[in-house]
Every structure is written in structure tokens, then in C-alpha cells.
Amino acid sequence: MKIVFNDVSFRYNGKYVLNRVNVEFETGKIYVVVGRNGSGKTTLLKVLAGLLEPEGTIFLDDDCADPLLLRENVGYVFQNPSSQIIGATVEEDIAFSLEILGLDKEEMQKRIKEVLNLVGLSGLEKEDPLNLSGGQKQRLAIASMLARNTRFLALDEPVSMLDPPSQKEIFRVLENLKKKGKGIVLVTHELEYLEDIDSIIHISDGTIDFCGSWEDFMMKGFEDVEIPFKWKLWKKCGEKVRWEDRYENSFDER
């Protein structure tokens, strides 16, 4: 499945926050959106998820997509997962989003079990979400969107409030979802622990001025994005090796 933006713009109070954006998103890929604060990153995600109605045209495969169709196919995950959690237990929180779809109890239980397994929360069905760690709460927010069978996830700074181990946790979940065929579009400044990127999108003043591989992105030298040291190392070595494989194993040997 593919979502295509064709000259998409959006205005707040008459001022363009997105200006004639042309970009494509496909399932089975991870897209990272970067740029300065206020450049239009979050607005891009909200338009993608059908939370804002823009100017221009958006296509879902060959069909013109209105916000309702986009909401059916793109799940939006907020920066603060607590703002999305409303259930008294983990399974009740996921069930709430399914009740809106009018699913029967058997189908709901099936989906809850599947998504909890996908995000690594199996066994916590009866747990109070307030007792979960920050990383677990974020995984629960992701699970609630996955339960609706959305083909894409749009995530706004999903690891900014998490410590490094929890950041790794979330990125591994997202990389696994990519392997399952989901399309992942995330805004993040935390690039250190994200390994599997298909495309980086750079936004400046509401306009996309770069969309391509991380190797080509490094060559551009955008000053508003800090390049992780390991990316520079990968470029120098001419190969992409997981940070843990290259370094943590060598430390263990010592």
C-alpha cells in the first residue's frame, strides 16, 4: 500500500505550515522525519493520519483519500503515551478502540492477544496501565493503534521521554513491525538507536528539501540534525553493522 501527497499544504491562522509537499510513503518501510522545531513535522504526521484536512490531494494507492479513509489506515501515536491511555487495564485500553469499530467479543480478544504479542506485552493484560514503565506505556499506545488493523503508524517523538534502554525497546518494536509489513513514519531527534531506516525526510519551513537514504542525508550536512557517531562509522567502514554486534560483544569478550 502507498500513500502519496500531491502538492499538499496546510495553514494555521492563514500561515502555511506545510507548503506544496510532495512525498510518498509505502508499507514495509521506515521513514524518519527530521527538522527544526516548528518546521512542520508534527503537522505532516497529523495530515497523514487524517487528523487535519489539508489543501491539495492525497492518494491511497489509486484512490483519492479523505481524512476518514486516512484515519482508517494510519494510526497516530502521540509523544506522551499517557494522553492516549484511558482503560483501567491493558486489555481494556486496547478494547476501547475496538468497541468503536463494533467488533464482537471473540474478534476483540483475538486482536488484543495478537497485538500484545507483537509489542512484547503478553501477560500484562490485567495490569493497570499506570503501573507500566514509560517504554511499556508507549508500546501499549502502539498496540491500541495496531489492533485497528492500520497499515501505517505515524509516531510523534515516541522516545523523547524515555531513557536509552526504553528507546532501544521501542525502536526494536518498530523495526519488527516493518518486517510484518507495516509502514512506519516517525518524527524523532533520537537517531542513535534506530538501525533500520529506509528513508529520511528533512523539512524546513514547511517544505521538504530532502528525501532519501541516510547515507545521502549525511552528505547534505544539515546543521539542525545531529548525526550519530555510529552512522559516521558505518559510512567510513562501508558497511552497516548493528552497534551492539560491533561493540557490546567485544566488551563482553574482555
Cα 62 to Cα 1, 131, 170, 182: the distances in Å are 10, 44, 32, 19
What is the total residue count of the chain?
254
What is the enclosing helix (H) or strand (E) of 114?
helix 105-118
Distance CA 101, CA 222 (A): 43
Cα 185 to Cα 93, 109, 162, 174, 218: the distances in Å are 23, 27, 19, 10, 19
All cell numbers assigned to 96: 476501547
Active site residue 157: yes
Distance CA 171, CA 237 (A): 24
What 3 state SS string does 158-202 have? CCCCCCHHHHHHHHHHHHHHHHCCCEEEEECCCCCCCCCCCEEEE
All cell numbers assigned to 18: 506545510
Active site residue: 106, 107, 157, 195, which one? 157
Q: Is 43 exposed, middle or buried (0-12, 13-18, 19+ CB in 10 A)?
A: buried
3-state secondary structure of 113: helix
Q: Find where cell 514509560 sits.
A: 134
List active site positions: 157
